[in-house]
Amino acid sequence: MARQNSRIVPLTDLDPRICAVISAPIGLFREVQRHYLTFRDHVWRSGLLGFTPVLDGDQADDWVDLHAGHKRVHFQIGGEVDWLPQPQTMMLAAMSEPYRDHRTIDSDIFDSTTEVALLAFLNAVTVGDAACRTAWEAWLLREGRETYAYMTADQLLTAFVVHSAGADCDTVLMPVMAGDVGRVDRHYYNRFLAKQLANPLRDAKQLVLFCNVPRSDTDTLRNGLGVLAERCSKPNLARTYTAITKGDNAAL
């Protein structure tokens, strides 16, 4: 639901020159954040913005302060781009420093200067630039093939256990050690989002290592239930216990 000038407005009628207040499920806001970040990295990698940053490997982990998400960005300056504002390349060259066969720049400065280039890219897509349109459509195609399920860790763990226990097999999918469930914060993206948004959602990867545990392995099943007990609500823990202990494992 969108409100503009104190009234509800259809999204198609929003005036882009005026601030709007938009209400939506939290999953939608998370997707807007995530899609923008993946889009930004996709366009960066294409080299269409007149530079190509190093997004993988050792040079991508050149941290000034890891936990604050502050890093140095390594990049190559490419050829001139007709639709890109000329000051963009000049600014990157002036604000960065030479490093071996490429250049490096503070990530905060890099983010702010490349936002201008991204806006120019989107405008080029709108007016029909062929190379920009191809890159845009490639990103849409990749994103359109992905499937997401919005669940808390509690809901995710419960769903895996209950559905695997109900399958036609003698095993159950579950984490069995405390270290099998963890979260890895993406500090760099969180720093960027905090500078762009008033209330950004934390960007992180929730990682779970599932083991296919035989129903006959009661010791490992007990360990798994102990892990679930630390992360699942009591109603969901009861559901998993019921699903696991059906049949001849009632002694668990």
The secondary structure of residue 19, as a DSSP letter, is -
Rounded Cα gap, residues 38 and 160, in angstroms: 27
Q: Is the pLDDT of residue 89 over 90?
A: no
Rounded Cα gap, residues 221 and 252, in angstroms: 8
**Which H or E element spans position 107?**
helix 107-127
Give the per-residue pLDDT at 84: 82
Structure tokens at 184: 């890895």
Q: Is the pLDDT of residue 95 over 60?
A: yes
Residue type, 167: A
Direct distance between the N- and C-terminal alpha carbons of the chain, in angstroms, rounded to an integer: 49
Q: Is the pLDDT of residue 81 over 80?
A: no
Contact 34, 189 (CB under 8 A): no
Give the per-residue pLDDT at 236: 96
Is the Cα torsion angle 151, 152, 153, 154 positive or negative in sign? negative
Contact 190, 202 (CB under 8 A): yes
pLDDT by residue (tens digit) across 176-194? 999 999 999 999 999 999 9
Structure tokens at 63: 């941290």
Rounded Cα gap, residues 138 and 223, in angstroms: 45
Q: Is the pLDDT of residue 252 over 80?
A: no
Rounded Cα gap, residues 200 and 42, in angstroms: 21
**Which H or E element spans position 116?**
helix 107-127
Query: What is the model's pTM?
Result: 0.77
Count CB neighbours of 34 within 10 A.
15
Q: Which of 90, 144, 148, 87 is nearest to 120 (CA)?
A: 87
Structure tokens at 101: 């066969």
Query: pLDDT-derived band of residue 149, with 50, 70 and 90 as boundaries?
Result: confident
CB neighbours of 2 closer than 8 A, spacing ≥ 6?
8, 9, 10, 11, 14, 20, 21, 22, 23
Residue predicted with more confidence, 40 or 147: 40
Give the per-residue pLDDT at 29: 85
3-class secondary structure, 241: helix
Q: Is the pLDDT of residue 247 over 70?
A: no
